Amino acid sequence: FKVRIIRVGGAKKILRAMEDFPFCVAVQENACRVLQILAHGDHTDRISVTLMQLGAGIRVLQTMKNNSDNARVQENACAALWSLSLNHDNKLALMDLDAANQILQAMSNHRNCEILQWVACAALGNFSNCLDHAVTLVGLGAANTILQVMHDYPRSENVQAIACGTLWNLAVDPDNQVTLMELGAAERILQAMNNNIDSKIVQRLACAALGNLAD
């Protein structure tokens, strides 16, 4: 049904609604949600690429600026960016649009929203899966933010797993390794392992992150 929705002009209508009602929380929240659904699980990338070509990235980032104090809008916007950035070209375009900074700002503004922190870390994880972006993200303060999230939600399996996965990507760069170690990343990862002892995914991604830090 996703392809059919795109084919009959659904994406254009969604983006037009976002443009026409920029400060309507209900419109923006639901529009971001449907963009995330349309882009997610798109194995051929046709839908997510089409959405970006239609201006979805620009529109999502604009609503994050316009509705920075609304946690649900920020949460759904971060989720949309997560799905859109699964495609490599989309990821490059979103970084050029300063998406990482917008995500980090959302995380800082809404530290008490666990789901937002999780999907935001997931989006940063996509962006960090590229050496140049990994360096840029650490320069923007992403490492500090991710470690803070791990501190805030020590027993959340979803948060700890995706945070460890993102640290794994960030730690590919030697200079990033130094910064992460100075910030206490190793200790935070080990704490995640202790607090989520029965979680295979946390244990696996934590080991992967420690492996890059030690390399």
DSSP 15-28: HHHHHH-TT-HHHH
Residue 173 has pLDDT above 80, yes or no: yes
Q: Dump pLDDT digits (tens) for 176-208.
A: 999 999 999 999 999 999 999 999 999 999 999
Task: Please report the pLDDT score of residue 40 as a whole number.
Answer: 87
In terms of C-beta density within 10 A (0-12 exposed, 13-18 middle, 19 or more buried), how is residue 186 classed?
middle
Q: CA geometry: angle at 150 spanning 145 and 151, to 5°?
A: 95
> If we measure between CA atoms, which residue out of 214, 127, 114, 201 comes closest to residue 164?
201
- Return the DSSP state at 215: -
Q: Dump pLDDT digits (tens) for 156-171.
A: 999 999 999 999 999 9
Q: What percent of the chain has pLDDT over 90?
A: 92
Task: Please report the pLDDT score of residue 42 as a whole number.
Answer: 61
Q: What is the pTM of this model?
A: 0.94
Q: CA geometry: angle at 177 spanning 174 and 182, to 5°?
A: 140
CA–CA distance, 179 with 103 (Å, rounded to integer): 21
Give the side-chain half-sphere CA count within 13 A for 118.
13
Mean pLDDT lowest for which of 2-11, 89-98, 178-187?
2-11
Contact 96, 58 (CB under 8 A): no
Task: Please report the pLDDT score of residue 215 as a whole number.
Answer: 87
Could you tell me the CA-to-CA distances from 122 to 24, 98, 144 in Å, in that order?
Answer: 26, 16, 16
Cα distance from N-terminal residue to C-terminal residue, the chain: 45
CA–CA distance, 144 with 189 (Å, rounded to integer): 13
Q: Dump pLDDT digits (tens) for 115-147.
A: 999 999 999 999 999 989 999 999 999 999 999
> If we measure between CA atoms, which residue out of 186, 87, 81, 160 comes closest to residue 129?
87
> If we measure between CA atoms, which residue out of 128, 139, 66 comes closest to residue 94?
128
CA–CA distance, 173 with 134 (Å, rounded to integer): 7
